[in-house]
């Protein structure tokens, strides 16, 4: 890497790698990628668990719809093993809080209500969008209230969780209807979701992309322009360039920087921006008379407040898959048993379960998905305590005569300082204008990441397109200064 590249990219997840590739392909090869972790991938993170590859992060790719999905296509090209997730039979697989299955016809009736409610929410969202009033938005919960069927029983709640929280990782109470429904991910790419379970991992999709522009030996990227274990702590920017400092004391200079870290990381104090993106407006006891430079600084700070607000008002949700390896299988297997739900009076209490008998036969691995406050509560406990809670739930479902797990694997996305959550979610009250500001450059700092791409927000596809979009924006600026709207740009509400 040159001592002073044109662009530094912070983060080597899907969006950072795509941004770097887009720059490279356009002829801007003088780049440097700084990644905090010891490998690329970010929230695409495959690990070995008792001899099997499991995905701590992204797991499903979507395909079969009107628009082709790059990630799905790459998975096909690499012959990665993917399995169509069949949720069709959950009506036969929902367990009561105290044990025993709900009768199929009871669940079918509840599912029918949920489906009609979902359709109502979709058409209500379309009506809001058609109204043309930018501010007309409600939470998904409000639209459910308008439908007059708000889920309150454990059964209705777990079904509603399956429809909403399982996708958004936050409850309908906080999620924006207009910016979440319809779910364009499925509308564009198809409603077939494929669970990727391959020994090479989901990561191999990203490695495949990275290998197209970074030097490599087999599956290992070895390129001077990618530096791993580099935790960025400070970004200094001015109209002349940027200076990036890392935790190990290194310093890098460039003309521009692209920041691809999650919105959760942006909300934390891991990276300090100098000058700061101020948190609130100035209500200081001003010294009088005010020096001109001070007034200029205050005005500049006020101008830039839009950015901090756009960052802090967005939501970083938490979605956690907890894996358990058992000595033997005690759950039903065979066709249409893969997914099973646990209904509890506390919404989201170890609600969605999946066995891997089809994907990893004989592995005796189960995993349960938890989100939001429950995920945060759970990840603060030691593994042994989590295992105890899980075993209580499993005993309710399958009886006391079940074996203890041999191992438990609990990802802690929320407390991990390089992520601070799993993926973003659009909260009610957050305008589209604010979202534009979330990705808008500040001076020579450009932003990408899944949170900046609204159409597929949260998904790996969002990260894919966000990287390309931001890099193209910067390429335009590098070619013609008039497109550098980050320079001295100020948008105020």
Site residues, ligand FAD (CB under 6 A):
10-16, 34-37, 42-44, 57-60, 230-232, 260-262, 265, 270-271, 319, 321, 413, 418-419, 422-423, 449-450, 458-463
- In the complex, what is the shortest distance from the CB of residue 185 to ligand FAD, in angstroms, rounded to a whole number? 8
Q: How far apart are the first and last CA of the chain?
A: 40
- In the complex, what is the shortest distance from the CB of residue 39 to ligand FAD, in angstroms, rounded to a whole number? 9
**Of residues 475, 459, 474, the one with CA closest to residue 70:** 459
Toward ligand FAD, which CB reaches closer, 102 or 213? 213
**Cβ proximity of 61 and 72 under 8 Å:** yes
Toward ligand FAD, which CB reaches closer, 422 or 437? 422
Toward ligand FAD, which CB reaches closer, 19 or 158? 19
Alpha carbon 468 to its chain centroid, in Å, reads 17
**Of residues 133, 131, 145, 134, the one with CA closest to residue 173:** 145
Residues whose CB falls within 8 Å of the CB of residue 19, separated by 6 or more in sequence, listed in order? 9, 258, 260, 448, 467, 468, 470, 471
- In the complex, what is the shortest distance from the CB of residue 2 to ligand FAD, in angstroms, rounded to a whole number? 19
Question: What does the alpha-carbon distance between residue 386 and residue 379 come to, in Å, rounded to a whole number?
Answer: 8
- In the complex, what is the shortest distance from the CB of residue 489 to ligand FAD, in angstroms, rounded to a whole number? 23
**Cβ proximity of 93 and 82 under 8 Å:** no
Toward ligand FAD, which CB reaches closer, 162 or 413? 413
Query: Could you tell me where the DSSP H helices lie in 7-147?
Result: 14-25, 70-77, 104-130, 140-147
- In the complex, what is the shortest distance from the CB of residue 46 to ligand FAD, in angstroms, rounded to a whole number? 11
The token duo for 207 is 């490695």
**Of residues 422, 416, 415, the one with CA closest to residue 458:** 422
The bridge status of strand 256-259 relative to strand 339-342 is unpaired
- In the complex, what is the shortest distance from the CB of residue 149 to ligand FAD, in angstroms, rounded to a whole number? 29
Toward ligand FAD, which CB reaches closer, 57 or 172? 57
- In the complex, what is the shortest distance from the CB of residue 295 to ligand FAD, in angstroms, rounded to a whole number? 33
Toward ligand FAD, which CB reaches closer, 340 or 459? 459
Toward ligand FAD, which CB reaches closer, 124 or 426? 426
């Amino acid at each position: 890497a040159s001592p002073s590249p044109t662009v530094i990219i912070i983060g080597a997840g899907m969006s950072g790698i795509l941004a770097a590739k887009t720059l490279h392909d356009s002829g801007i090869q003088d780049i440097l990628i700084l990644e905090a972790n010891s490998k690329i991938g970010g929230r695409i993170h495959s690990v070995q668990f008792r001899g099997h590859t499991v995905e701590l992060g992204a797991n499903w790719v979507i395909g079969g719809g009107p628009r082709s999905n790059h990630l799905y296509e790459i998975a096909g090209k690499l012959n990665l093993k993917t399995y169509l997730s069949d949720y069709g039979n959950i009506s036969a697989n929902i367990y009561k809080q105290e044990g025993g299955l709900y009768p199929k016809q009871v669940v079918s009736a509840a599912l029918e209500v949920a489906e009609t409610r979902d359709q109502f929410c979709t058409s209500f969202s379309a009506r809001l969008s058609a109204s043309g009033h930018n501010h007309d938005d409600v939470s998904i919960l409000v639209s459910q209230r308008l439908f007059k069927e708000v889920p309150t029983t454990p059964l209705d709640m777990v079904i509603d969780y399956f429809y909403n929280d399982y996708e958004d990782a936050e409850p309908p109470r906080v999620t924006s209807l207009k910016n979440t429904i319809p779910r364009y991910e499925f509308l564009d790419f198809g409603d077939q979701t494929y669970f990727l379970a391959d020994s090479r991992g989901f990561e191999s999709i990203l490695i495949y992309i990275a290998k197209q522009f970074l030097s490599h030996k087999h599956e290992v990227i070895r390129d001077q322009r990618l530096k791993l274990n580099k935790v960025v702590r400070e970004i200094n920017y001015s109209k002349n360039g940027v200076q990036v400092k890392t935790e190990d004391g290194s310093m890098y200079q460039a003309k521009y920087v692209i920041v691809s870290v999650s919105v959760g990381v942006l909300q934390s104090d891991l990276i300090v921006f100098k000058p700061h993106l101020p948190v609130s407006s100035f209500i200081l006891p001003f010294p009088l008379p005010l020096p001109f430079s001070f007034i200029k600084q205050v005005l500049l700070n006020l101008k830039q407040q839009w950015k901090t607000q756009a960052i802090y008002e967005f939501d970083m949700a938490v979605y956690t898959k907890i894996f358990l390896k058992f000595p033997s299988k005690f759950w039903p297997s065979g066709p249409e048993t893969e997914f099973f739900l646990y209904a509890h009076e506390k919404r989201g209490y170890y609600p969605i379960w999946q066995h891997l008998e089809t994907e990893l036969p004989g592995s005796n691995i189960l995993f349960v998905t938890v989100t939001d406050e429950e995920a945060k509560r759970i990840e603060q406990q030691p593994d042994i305590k989590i295992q105890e809670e899980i075993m209580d739930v499993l005993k309710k479902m399958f009886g006391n005569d079940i074996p203890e797990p041999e191992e438990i694997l609990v990802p802690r996305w929320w407390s991990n300082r390089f992520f601070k959550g799993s993926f973003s979610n659009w909260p009610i009250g957050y305008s589209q204008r604010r979202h534009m500001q979330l990705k808008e450059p500040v001076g020579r700092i450009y932003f990408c990441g899944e949170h900046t791409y609204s159409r597929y927000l949260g998904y790996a596809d969002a990260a894919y397109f966000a990287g390309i979009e931001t890099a193209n924006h910067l390429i335009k600026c590098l070619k013609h200064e008039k497109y550098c709207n980050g320079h001295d740009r100020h948008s105020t509400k």
